[in-house]
């Protein structure tokens, strides 16, 4: 879902604002998506482990995700011609997928539990 949001927002910027904004947007989307993909991979490795190992994997994955995000932002701002607004707009859009999923799943859960 995050990748599709990144691509959709980037295509929108590309079509309506030009190549520079489209490229900046996809860089912002990947700055959010790649660390989250790594985090999901780290958590999946802990499947079936003890609770202590799962918690350790969670904290390790989260701290590395934050470091990866910082490193990717440092790299992104070195790209010649990168535009701040589309980069951040796509970054925030990709991160908002978590909140949208929480809202949708919470409503789905409430609906099923009422039945």
What are the helix and strand counts (H, E) for the chain?
A: 4, 0
9 — pLDDT class (breaks 50, 70, 90)? very high
| Alpha carbon 31 to chain centroid, angstroms | 7
**Helices 19-45 and 51-76, packing angle to 10 deg:** 160
pLDDT in tens, 21-76: 999 999 999 999 999 999 999 989 888 888 888 899 899 999 999 999 999 999 99
């Amino acid at each position: 879902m995050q990748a599709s949001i990144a691509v959709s927002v980037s295509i929108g910027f590309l079509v309506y604002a030009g190549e520079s904004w489209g490229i900046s947007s996809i860089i912002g989307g990947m700055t959010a998506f790649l660390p989250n993909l790594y985090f999901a991979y780290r958590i999946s490795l802990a499947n079936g482990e003890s609770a202590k190992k799962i918690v350790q994997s969670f904290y390790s994955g989260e701290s590395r995700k934050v470091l990866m995000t910082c490193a990717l932002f440092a790299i992104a701002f070195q790209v010649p011609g990168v535009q701040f607004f589309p980069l951040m707009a796509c970054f925030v859009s990709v991160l908002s997928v978590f909140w949208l999923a929480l809202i949708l799943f919470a409503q789905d859960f409430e609906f099923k539990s009422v039945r």
